[in-house]
Structure formats: C-alpha cells, structure tokens
Structure 1
C-alpha cells in the first residue's frame, strides 16, 4: 500500500504596481498546524509572473514529496492546470490555440519542474474578498512590491 503523502496547504498571490512595474509575491505554507510565510519581488515584472513565482517558490520550499493543495486567485493559473491547457500548449510546442506563443513559458516550465515530485490539487479563491489567508498573502505580495 502506497504511503500517504504529507498534506500541505499553499496559499499564493502576486501583486504589481503598474503592469509591468515593480512587483511582489507572497506564499503561505501550512503543514501539521505549522505556518511558514515566504515572499519576494522584482523591480520590473508583471502581475502574472508574480502569481506564478509565488507558486514556484512555495513548491521549491518543500523538502519532500507532498500533496499540495494550492489556493490561488489567478484564474489563468488554476485553469491552466485544471482544464488541461498546459498539456495542449506542450503538445503544440508551447503555442496557444490561436497559434501565438505562450507568454511566460520560462515560468510555466519552472513551475512544472517544481511540481514534479508532488501531487497537486488546485483551488480558485476569490481575490480581495473575505478569504483571510488569501488576504494575508496579498498583503505579503503588496509589501514586497513596495520595496522597489
């Protein structure tokens, strides 16, 4: 019988002042009642890149394979994985259905590598609402964006 993977809840968010402009990302990892916040930013970026970076860095923080329940307010990211868009992009040589190149391919590929050892579940949360943990990672991301 396969060993049950440790379950980690990962809340992520990105922020950008201007798009492009100075940006930040924030992530909150919850495991076994313990919490860990991580955050970072970039002086010249986009909101989508910061949303993606939050997930990547959250996954890279994990030291062993886990079942990661990712909570994001980015419909683009959640739909990319839950609706199979990423599989289609890869089959088409990183082209979208309109034959245009996929934006931020470098980060999509980095996210796939970071996800490799883990089992992922995706949850779309409503941004800027009453989701306390989403608001918390949003605050981390905004604070990072203000450092530039």
Structure 2
C-alpha cells in the first residue's frame, strides 16, 4: 500500500504592537492546493516580537496532520533564531543566556519548538511593507487584532513583567557567583604582583576567576585607593 503523501502548506505571518510594548495583534494565512484560510488575534499588552512569534505558532498549531510547511515572515528575530539554531541552544541551556539571565519570550519559544517537531518546516524571510501580497494581508490582519474589541491578556508577557529581574543580566559581585560564559561558580584570586599604569589612582586587591573557562571579573568591592603611584604595588 502506498504511503500517504505528506501535504505541502504555505504559512504567511505578521505581528506587531502599537506602541511597543502596547496593544498587539498577529495575522496568519494558511494555503494548501488553492485553498486559503485567514486568522488574526489581539492582545491587550504585549510586544512586536511576541506577536511575530505568536503568528507562526498559531498557524502551525492549526495544521491537523503532519505536513511540509514553508513559513514566510518579515521577522529576522524569528527566522534567525530558528535557522541559526539559537532557539535550540537556548532550550539545551534551560533557557539561560550567556550572562546568567532567562531568554526573553521563552514561553513562546518552547511552544514553537514543540510544534516544529510535528512537521517538516523551513523558513523564508520576506521584506515587510514591500508589496508582498500575503505579507501585506497579514499586516492588515494583525492590525485587525490590534484594534479588535475582544483582545485577551498575554499571560506570558505579564509573567515577564512580574519577574523582570530573572530576565536581566546578573552582575558578578562575589565569590560563588556563576560565570557569565559557562555558569561555573567563580572563585576569589589575589594577584602576587600587579603593574600600575602612570596616573592610576586605584587597584584591585583581588578578582573573581572561573576555574573552568578562565574568565576574570574585576569587582567594585575589590577596588582600593592607590596611595603610592610607583610602578608596582609592593
């Protein structure tokens, strides 16, 4: 018996917020064998990038069976994060960025990567507001979402606002803080001898050091006034 042919579907998307962040909307078009379906949605408070992501996610989640899908988007943020493998790397690192902070929009990246595993998907970038018929239509649909009366809350963005400190880069200030490059606990090191530049008015009594990747961090608490500006401290 001949295997069932996998359908080919085109997915066109766009999203935005006015202002950014602000009222948001997305537009999605699905095409298959001359048949076309359009969708849009609106959110009370969100961002451009979240709406660009939501447009793709919504379209892929609407597909009921495994398909070969070509996604057309004008968002470099979405396309490069998938095509360059960044999103997969973020997931492998438990959604922690290099500088010890959570990846922005990780809730939507989780959804997108999950639905991508159900289909064979490739991404194409299209220039926005350049006369591309479907992209212009998706922009129109996204604006319908922005100005709709039944906008919903973007719980993922509200969660971000409530826990914004978790998404910000954390400073390396004390021994044991995680290295920004490899997340290894840092240790304190005291230099045996340190050269002093002419007119220098301070020095660092110690520094924090990563025993794994050898990164060094100068911290404010280690800064000391230089009383005798000779060539060496000792």
Structure 2 length as normaliser, TM-score?
0.60
After superposition, where does 1:1-148 map in structure 2 within 5 Å?
3-147=4-148
Count matched residues: 148
**In the TM superposition, what whole-angstrom CA distance separates every residue of 1:73-118 from its partner, at most 9, and x where no partner exists?**
1101100111110121122221234443210100111112222210
Quote the Cα distance in structure 1 between the aligned partners of 2:115 and 2:126: 22
Residue 230 of structure 2 is matched in structure 1 by none
Q: Which runs of 5+ in 1 are unaligned?
A: none
Q: Which runs of 5+ in 2 are unaligned?
A: 150-234
Give secondary structure in 2 for the equivalent of 1:96.
coil
The structure whose residues are more often strand, as a share, is 1
Structure 1 length as normaliser, TM-score?
0.93
Residue 168 of structure 2 is matched in structure 1 by none
**In the TM superposition, what whole-angstrom CA distance separates every residue of 1:41-99 from its partner, at most 9, and x where no partner exists?**
10111111111111111011111000110000110110011111012112222123444
Quote the Cα distance in structure 1 between the aligned partners of 2:98 and 2:68: 31
97-106 or 129-138, which moves further after superposition?
Answer: 97-106
Quote the Cα distance in structure 2 between the aligned partners of 1:135 and 1:109: 28
Task: Please tell me whether Structure 1 or Structure 2 has the larger radius of gyration of its CA atoms.
Answer: 2
**In the TM superposition, what whole-angstrom CA distance separates every residue of 1:29-48 from its partner, at most 9, and x where no partner exists?**
00011000011010111111
111-120 or 128-137, which moves further after superposition?
Answer: 111-120
Which of structures 1 and 2 has the larger relative contact order (alpha carbons within 8 angstroms, sep 6+)? 1
85-94 or 131-140, which moves further after superposition?
Answer: 85-94
